[in-house]
Structure 1
Amino acid sequence: MRITGGSLCGRRIAVPDGIIRPAMDRMRESVFAILGDLSGKSFLDLFSGSGIIALEAASRGASPIEAVEKDPRKRSQLLRNVAISPVHIHCHFMAVELYVKRAKNSFDVIFCDPPFPYAYKKELLEAISTSPLMQETSLLLIHYPREEQFETPPGKLMLTDRRQYGRSLVDFYSLQN
């Protein structure tokens, strides 16, 4: 996989062992074009896998950055990949649900890319929306299968944008006023 923009544009990273569905180059490039310059913005990458999303954020100036991944088979490759970042990416190796439950800090941008078979997407978004992770200006993104499109926004969230990439969607949410 390659980083699609910013200071690390074109750098390739390895994909870790285990089950992984890396975010498509086209989708990542489009999403980060929508987000624009991330200089000085905090970024959280949930279900980090290879770390490509965190690296895309770092490449575009985000800082601080945290990545969360529970699969121990991905740990060593994730750490090798984020080592190329111009800023430190703090990696947490735990279940995303536990990370959300223990959260104390908020982030400007939260990117959630659960495995497509993950059955608790809506509940996870609800938990994030009521956690300290989100503040009034935070943006929460989720990448998920088109077939699972939410009828109504979960929790305290308001849908601000939706983009389709092949058989998947990326929804952009902010907190309702």
Structure 2
Amino acid sequence: MRITGGKYRGRTVLCPPGVIRPAMDSMRESLFGILGNLEGQSWLDLFTGSGCVGIEAASRGASPVHLVEKDHIKKQTILTNISMVDSQIQLFMADVRRFIPTAKRQYDIVYADPPFPMDGKIELAKAVDKANLLTENGLFIIHYPAEEKKDWPKEIGNLFCYDERQYGRSTLRFFVNKKETKKDEA
């Protein structure tokens, strides 16, 4: 895998051992093209896998970037991958469902790429909303299988879907947070 744009464009990202389904380069490139300049935006990458999406965010100016992954087999590879980043990037080894309600800060963008077979993806979005993880007008983006497209509501709490893109068997759904929220910075 390679970083598709920004400061670290062209750098190689290692694929960790274990079960992983890396986001396609073309999908990542499209995602970051849609988002544009991320300078100064905080980013949370849930189910980080290799750390590639978080590194893409950092490459395009996001800071801080926080990564969450529970599979300890992937830890060393993720740490090796993020060692190229000279801005603030941090890995949290935790189960995403436990991390969300205990997060100490809000983020401008929360990106979730749960395993395709995982149940409860809509509940995951509800948990992000309930935990006030997003700043006002912050974005929640989830990557899921295209066959689940019909299951998703237009609104989840204060999250309103404003865009959806399909890339082969993959779908990206974009939500914006329409509630003014405050949470202590960590």
Give the TM-score category using the shorter length: over 0.9
Q: Which residue of 2 aligns with 1:83?
A: 83
Distance in 1 of aligned mates of 2:133 and 2:52: 21
Kindly state the Cα deviation for residue 86 of structure 1 after the two structures are TM-superposed: 2.3
Q: Which runs of 5+ in 2 are unaligned?
A: 180-186
- Per-residue CA deviations over 1:110-155 (Å, capped at 9, x if unaligned) read 1000000110101010010121311222100000001111341333
- Per-residue CA deviations over 1:36-80 (Å, capped at 9, x if unaligned) read 000011000000010000000010011011000000110000000
Q: Which runs of 5+ in 1 are unaligned?
A: none
TM-score, length of structure 2 as denominator length:
0.92
Do the aligned residues in 2 keep the contact of 1:160 with 1:173 (CA within 8 Å)? yes
| Count of residue pairs the alignment pairs up | 177
Do the aligned residues in 1 keep the contact of 2:122 with 2:152 (CA within 8 Å)? no
Q: Which residue of 2 aligns with 1:7?
A: 7
Q: Structure 2 matches for 1:90-101, cutoff 5 A?
A: 90-101=90-101
- Per-residue CA deviations over 1:64-115 (Å, capped at 9, x if unaligned) read 1100000011000000000101213110000001110101211011100000
CA RMSD of aligned residues (A): 1.0
Distance in 1 of aligned mates of 2:158 and 2:116: 23
Q: Which residue of 2 aligns with 1:154?
A: 156
Kindly state the Cα deviation for residue 5 of structure 1 after the two structures are TM-superposed: 0.2
Do the aligned residues in 2 keep the contact of 1:64 with 1:88 (CA within 8 Å)? yes
Matched AA of 1:167: R
Task: Give every structure 1 segment of 4 or more consecutive aligned residues whose post-TM-superposition deviation is greater than 4 Å.
Answer: none
Distance in 1 of aligned mates of 2:22 and 2:156: 25
TM-score, length of structure 1 as denominator length:
0.97
Q: Which structure features the higher share of strand residues?
A: 2
Q: Which residue of 1 aligns with 2:74?
A: 74
**% identical aligned pairs:** 47
Q: Which residue of 1 aligns with 2:182?
A: none
Distance in 2 of aligned mates of 1:154 and 1:19: 29
Distance in 2 of aligned mates of 1:108 and 1:132: 11
DSSP-derived class of the 1:7 partner: coil
